[in-house]
Amino acid sequence: MTLSLKLGTRRSLLAWAQSSWVAREVERLNPGAKVELVGIDTRGDKILDVSLQSIEGKEFFVAELDAALRTGAVDFTVHSLKDLSLERPTEFMNVATPKRENSRDVILYGPRVMQKLESGEKIRIGTSSPRRKENLPAFLEKTLPHFGKTAPQVDLVELRGNVNTRLGRVHETEGSERHLDGVVLALAGLIRLSRDSAGGPELQRLLSGLRWMVLPLRENPTAPGQGALAIECRKQDQHVIAAVSKLQDSASVDQVEMERQILADWGGGCHQKFGASAATFEGLGTVLYIRGRKSNGEFVDEARWKVPASPKAPGGKAVVAWESTESRSKAAPSPIDHLDPTPYKGRSFFIAHTRALSDGFVSVVQSGRVWVPGVRTWQQLAARGIWVEGCTEGFGIEYGKQLMAPAVLGLPAFDTKKDWVVLTHEDALEPWNDVATGATAIATYRVPKADLQNVPELEKATHLYWGSGSQYERYKAFVSPTAEHACGPGKTAQFLKSQGISPVLFPSLEEWKKWIRS
């Protein structure tokens, strides 16, 4: 017998795209099944001139869907999980949370934003989220390009509506009341919409000519559950449960449960001023980033993960920590002269360290798209007037490739020699050519050999943190054979393992420092 199901969904382009994908997956996993989409208007889709935090009541975007499910007008419903409160009707069940899309926020900026920043004009960015309003100003103050002694001026203004309505505000006439210089959106929604046959072409039109900024989770954790879908049905409908539960992704469920537990502990919903985002890293496990302000006014900024046992030195000696960074060296790096940047104009650039951007490459880099390893490099380049659109968050280029992969970003594949250029130092060329699998790596500076002034301190160290494999190479002759090594997950960890070392992995240097002090 053919299985025929009705799926209730909001009518927006994004909601329809998400539900269409679910419908096709249910049909694919259940040969012979047919799923019909039923469009339902919700209060949240109708009332667009009121801020979310001023609205009373829960389930602003789902009450009408719940009513249709309760009466049997539809067999199951699809929601953006972040829109669901913790207390759902007892007669319903979340039958599946499919594999989650990238949970990060992005900001899309209009084509004149650089001119405005350079002239010192205030830029207007639209968002209705108290969480974003809490965390974004401090981040943008240091990561938007600087053109003078004062920080960029940003005004966060109220904005509601669906994806195409919000993006349309960036295309309004310059100087009009409706014009915005940027809008904050969930990357997951853009990814899903871009894949939809109906919504994709309209999205591409709206994205044309805009600048991207992909926000890192550590500094800008998102709404709990962002990027995940929730598929609900009635508890007694076993035929629906059997068909739809095949979409369940356990890893996504685990992440979402960690994030929503923070809501349960601290309270919140669309009114909360903190974000909570979980991400899973190979060799490290899941890290939960929390940042923002609790309802009692307390500011929280932390990373929760499975921390190793407290550090101990052999023989009961005192723990002596040593970290390897280029800034430790008393000798200044030397630039490599006579490089011609002209052939690389218009390509995409990965700038491995702020020192790698020599003056000769600045104008060429400004003609392309720029990604960096972490927020510190991002801030330093922004201070030089460079637009950076994202970072690998300290987790290495292999992780970064996943962040840059969604087609909606419009970035070339990282392993194509003709499209990506890595700017780095001379000793890192070989490792980059091994790991980048095709991107063009260029040495723009030389790092001094091991600084002997650091050696007495290094020889006493019981615990070391390495920022790169080349740093280990410079200093390995002076390291105690009993020392414990640490680094982040990524290229450095791979290199140390190739040297017979089993490093302890940390989400960041800052987390290693906290651990050392524990």
The DSSP letter of residue 300 is E
Alpha-helical regions (H) of 52-176: 63-71, 113-119, 130-143, 163-170
Other C-beta atoms closer than 10 Å to the C-beta of 343 total 10
Using alpha carbons only, how large is the chain's radius of gyration in Å?
Answer: 25
Reported confidence tier of residue 393, pLDDT bands at 50, 70, 90: very high
Distance between CA atoms of residues 479 and 463, nearest Å:
10
- Rounded to an integer, what is the distance from CA 284 to the centroid of its chain? 17
Kindly report, residue by residue over 124-153, the tens digit of the pLDDT.
Answer: 999 989 999 999 999 999 999 998 878 899
pLDDT in tens, 91-119: 999 999 999 999 999 999 999 999 999 99
Nearest Cα to Cα of residue 284 among 303, 253, 306: 306
Q: Tens digits of per-residue pLDDT, 316-370? A: 889 999 998 755 566 678 889 889 999 999 899 999 999 999 999 999 999 999 9
* The pairing of beta strand 390-391 with beta strand 369-372: parallel
Helix (H, G, I), strand (E, B) or coil at 256: helix
- Considering the segment(s) 334-446 as one domain, its CATH architecture is 3-Layer(aba) Sandwich (3.40)
Domain boundaries, the chain: 105-214, 307-329+449-517, 334-446
Least confident of 47-51, 144-148, 167-171: 47-51
Say how many C-beta atoms besides its own lie within 10 A of residue 197's C-beta.
8
Confidence bin at 54 (pLDDT 50/70/90): very low
**Sign of CA pseudo-dihedral 37, 42, 47, 50:** negative
- What's the average model confidence in pLDDT over 199-227? 96
Instruction: Say which residue, 504 or 437, is predicted with more confidence.
Output: 504
Q: What angle do CA 402, 403, 408 make, to 5 degrees?
A: 105
Taking residues 53-76, report their average pLDDT. Answer: 80
Q: What is the pLDDT of residue 269?
A: 63
pLDDT over threshold 70, residue 53:
no
Element (H, E) at 44: helix 43-46
pLDDT in tens, 442-471: 999 998 877 777 788 889 999 999 998 888
DSSP state letter for 417: T
Q: What share of the chain is helix, strand, coil (3-state, %, to 5)?
A: 35, 20, 40
Number of other residues whose CB lies within 10 A of the CB of residue 132: 23
User: What crossing angle do the helices spanning 199-207 and 163-170 adopt, rounded to 10°?
Assistant: 20
pLDDT at 227: 97
pLDDT digits (tens, 9 = 90+) for 219-274: 999 999 999 999 999 999 999 999 999 999 999 999 999 999 999 998 766 678 99
What average pLDDT does this structure show over 478-498?
Answer: 93
Beta-carbon count within 10 A of 459 CB: 14
Name the more confident of 407 and 440: 407
Q: What pLDDT, on a 0 to 100 scale, did the predictor assign at position 416?
A: 67
Residues 211, 198: Cα–Cα separation, whole Å: 24
Structure tokens at 436: 């980048």
Confidence of residue 14 (pLDDT cuts 50, 70, 90): very high
Q: If DSSP codes are grouped into helix, strand and coil, which group holds residue 184?
A: strand
The architecture in CATH of the region 307-329+449-517 reads 3-Layer(aba) Sandwich (3.40)
Mean pLDDT, to the nearest integer, of 279-304?
A: 94
d(CA 211, CA 110): 6
Phi-psi region of 72 (alpha: psi -120 to 50; beta: other; left: phi over 0): left
What per-residue confidence (pLDDT) applies to 175? 87
The pair of three-digit structure tokens given for residue 394, joined into one six-digit string: 């300290």
Q: How many CB atoms lie within 10 A of CB 358?
A: 17
C-alpha to C-alpha distance for 207 and 487, rounded to whole angstroms: 38
At position 79, the amino acid (one-letter code) is H
How far is it, in rounded angstroms, from Cα 469 to Cα 497? 10
Per the CB < 8 A criterion, the answer to whether 5 and 26 are in contact is yes
pLDDT score, position 270: 62
What does the block give as tokens for 75? 């067999």
Does the domain at residues 105-214 carry the CATH identifier 3.40.190.10? Answer: yes
> For residue 14, which of 181, 242, 185 has the smallest C-alpha distance?
185
By DSSP bridging, strand 229-234 and strand 76-80 are: antiparallel
Q: Could you count the other beta carbons within 10 Å of the beta carbon of residue 33?
A: 16
Average pLDDT, the chain: 91
Residue given tokens 């709206």 in the structure block:
206
- Neighbouring residues of 340: CB distance < 8 A, sequence distance ≥ 6: none
Of the ranges 25-29, 58-62, 174-178, which is most confident? 25-29
Common-topology check for domains 307-329+449-517 and 334-446:
yes
Percentage with pLDDT > 90 across the chain: 77
| Distance from C-alpha of 55 to C-alpha of 66, rounded to nearest angstrom | 19
Q: pTM for this structure? A: 0.93
Report pLDDT for 180.
97
Residue 282, pLDDT score: 87
Residue 123 pLDDT exceeds 70: yes
Q: What pLDDT was estimated at residue 267?
A: 78
C-alpha 176, offset from chain centre: 32
Q: In which band, very low, low, confident or very high, does the pLDDT at 437 lie, cut at 50, 70 and 90?
A: low
Q: What pLDDT band is residue 57 in, cutting at 50, 70 and 90?
A: very low
- Span 272-284, mean pLDDT? 93
Supply 235's token pair.
């508890």
Residue type, 88: R
